[in-house]
Amino acid sequence: MERKKTQVAIIGAGPSGLLLSLLLNKQGIDTVILERVTGDYVLGRIRAGVLEQGFAKLVREAGAAHNMDTLGEVHHGVEFAIDDKRVPIELTELTGESVIVYGQVDITRDMMEEREKRGIEAVYEASNVQPHDVKSDNPYITYEKDGVEYKLECDYIAGCDGFHGVSRKTIPDDVKTEYEKVYPFGWLGLMSDTPPINEELIYSKTKRGFALASMRSKTRSRYYLQVPLSDTVEDWSDERFWEELKKRMPKDAVKNLVTGKSIEKSIVPTRSFICEPLQYGNLFLVGDAGHIVPPTGAKGLNLAASDVATLYKIMTRVYKEGDKKCIEQYSPIALRRIWNGVRFSWWMTDLLHNFGDEKDFYEQRMETSELEFFLNSEAGKKVIAEQYVGLPYEDLK
Ligand code: APR
Ligand code: PHB
């Protein structure tokens, strides 16, 4: 078995792992990333594209923000619609903040390129990645690459390996509590090289189900439809998708809809999941490894970023000041923000989707009433805006 050594071993080269490695590298802290699949495979996963300012600031600090800041679009508002009634939420007027619309694939590619440029080590197609002795002062990871077995010794392990990764499984069942809610529908997404229907995103609630109009640029649109979990992509020709979207977007927006051939179509399930705690000995769960939110509100990537921010501050203090005690702050600080994000995503998901028989007529009416209440009130819109742009990051004690 070949032996290697680093300070912080990172499992997973998704956005969480890459961002953490770039930030730690800026502080002179050595990392090695172990990734199960190829870089191209990582870039093949299409995900949301709304970045909070906190995330954008971190990417700047990490030195990977050039494309985000030149190609990303700053959005000062977002729209909600109930049937044909459209309600703009002026994010900047209400909160002083904005969001950046820039795809997760693009930000991941930018961070991958920056990592390579700076010579930070990443092992792609590493198999059988397994953390060991994470409660001891000498944790290590074993893995295989090209038929050779490796032992990577380290001080800390950052589990950035997504929902299906190995890190969370390393925490014994009697130590962790897992909370899960699986929603009875999925999101069918379609990407097309057509101009967006509207300048701002539109989250639309209709009796036929929820729809979202989003975008990647002035010439690329991203749309979503709530669909039953039993549906497959093959059930949805482009024509069927566009026809349904027209029925779920407000009428005066549909006038601007340009349809075209899809360049990607996929269905994602919608669920909430939280693992407590996020730290076990010298192992930390970061991003999707520790929590998942339904995509309504685009909080997944942004919550991953706030985890990274907290762990980055902790690791910097550990290595610069020798304060090892502060690692205990990771889980409580990260979880406070995560639960808020989970609550906001749950609220948005509940109020905007059609739950069919799962909710009785009374509950459905209450949800419409609640959404109308918030959208008709300046205070209500402000509450939505504050959460949409993202709550502030909490500092270490
Ligand atoms: N060994 C090594 N790598 C692994 C393993 C393993 N056993 N299991 C999973 N991975 C890798 C995956 O291949 C993936 O590239 O870990 C990476 C995890 O990346 P993501 O799932 O993208 O998770 P994360 O980086 O936390 O990103 C946060 O934001 O918008 C949301 O859910 C969305 O991906 C998104 C997330
Ligand atoms: C997206 O553009 O893919 C997107 C935007 C907002 C969401 C979810 C997804 O809430």
DSSP per-residue letters across 90-102? EHHHHHS--EEE-
Of 102, 140, 203, 312, the active-site residue reads: 203
299 assigned to active site? yes
What's the DSSP call for residue 70?
H
pLDDT in the model for residue 3: 98
Q: What's the gap in Å between 300 CA and the centre of ligand 2?
A: 10
CA distance linking residue 31 with residue 35, whole number of Å: 13
Query: What percent of the chain is modeled with pLDDT above 70?
Result: 100
What gap in Å lies between CA 15 and CA 161, rounded to an integer? Answer: 10
Pocket test for ligand 1, best of 161, 168, 292 (most atoms within 8 A of CB): 161
In whole angstroms, give the CA distance from residue 217 to residue 194.
Answer: 9
- What mean pLDDT comes out for the span 255-259? 98
The Cα–Cα gap between 378 and 106 comes to 35
Q: What is the pLDDT of residues 145-161, one digit of tens each?
A: 999 999 999 999 999 99
Which of 46, 201, 348, when mutated, tests ligand 2's pocket best, judged by the most ligand atoms within 8 Å of its CB? 201
388 is catalytic: yes
- DSSP 3-state assignment of 239? helix
Q: Going by C-beta distance under 8 Å and a sequence separation of 6 or more, which residues neighbour residue 235? A: none
β-pairing, 291-292 with 262-276?
antiparallel
Nearest to 6 by CA among 392, 330, 390, 315: 315
Name residue, tokens 């290595």: 319
Q: What is the pLDDT of residues 94-114, one digit of tens each?
A: 999 999 999 999 999 999 999
**Kind and range of the H or E element at 216?**
strand 211-217
Residue 296 has pLDDT above 90, yes or no: yes
Q: What gap in Å lies between CA 345 and CA 187, rounded to an integer? A: 14
**388 vs 97: CA distance, rounded Å:** 10
Residue 205 clears pLDDT 90, i.e. is over it: yes
What's the pLDDT tens digit per position in 336-359? 999 999 999 999 999 999 999 999
- Round to whole Å and give the CA distance between 288 and 165: 9
- Top-confidence residue, 210 or 47: 210
Task: Report the atom number in ligand 1 closest to the C-alpha of 15.
Answer: 25
Q: How confident is the model at residue 31 (pLDDT cuts 50, 70, 90)?
A: very high
Identify any residues that bridge with 169 across adjacent strands, giving them in sequence order.
Answer: none
- Rounded mean pLDDT, 310-325: 97
Tokens 């762990």 correspond to: 311
Which one is catalytic: 140, 143, 223, 388?
388
Residue 45: its pLDDT value, please?
84
Residues whose CB falls within 8 Å of the CB of residue 286, separated by 6 or more in sequence, listed in order:
16, 17, 20, 158, 159, 160, 278, 304, 307, 308, 311
Dist. CA 197–CA 245, nearest whole Å: 11
For the record, the structure tokens of 360 come out as 């009785």
Q: What is the pLDDT of residue 48?
A: 86
Ligand 1: which residue has its CA nearest to atom 1? 36
**What is the rounded CA–CA span in Å between residue 125 and residue 35?**
6
Mean pLDDT for 369-392 is 98
Residue nearest to atom 32 of ligand 1 (CA): 300
For residue 342, the model assigns a pLDDT of: 97
Indicate the pTM of the whole model: 0.97
Q: How far is 234 from 304, CA to CA, in rounded Å?
A: 32
Structure tokens at 229: 């979990």
Residue 212 main-chain phi, psi, to 5 deg: -130, 130
Q: How far is CA 341 from CA 279, 294, 335, 394, in A?
A: 19, 10, 10, 14
> Is 90 exceeded by the pLDDT of residue 227?
yes
Whether the per-residue pLDDT at 86 is higher than 90: the answer is yes
Burial group, residue 121, by CB count within 10 angstroms (0-12, 13-18, 19+): middle
Q: What is the dihedral of CA 32, 36, 41, 45, to 10 degrees?
A: -90
The residues pairing with 41 across neighbouring beta strands, listed in sequence order, are none
Residue 287, ligand 1, Cβ within 6 A: yes
- 301 CB under 6 A from ligand 1? yes
pLDDT in tens, 42-54: 998 888 889 999 9
Q: Is the pLDDT of residue 274 over 90?
A: yes
Nearest ligand (C-alpha, residue 311): 1
User: Quick check: is 295 catalytic?
Assistant: yes
**How many angstroms separate the CA atoms of 7 and 30, rounded?**
5
User: Could you count the other beta carbons within 10 Å of the beta carbon of residue 110?
Assistant: 22
Question: What lines the ligand 2 site, CB under 6 Å?
Answer: 48-50, 201, 212, 214, 222, 295-298
Q: Which ligand is nearest to the CA of 73?
A: 2
Q: How far is the CA of 366 from the centre of ligand 1 (A)?
A: 37
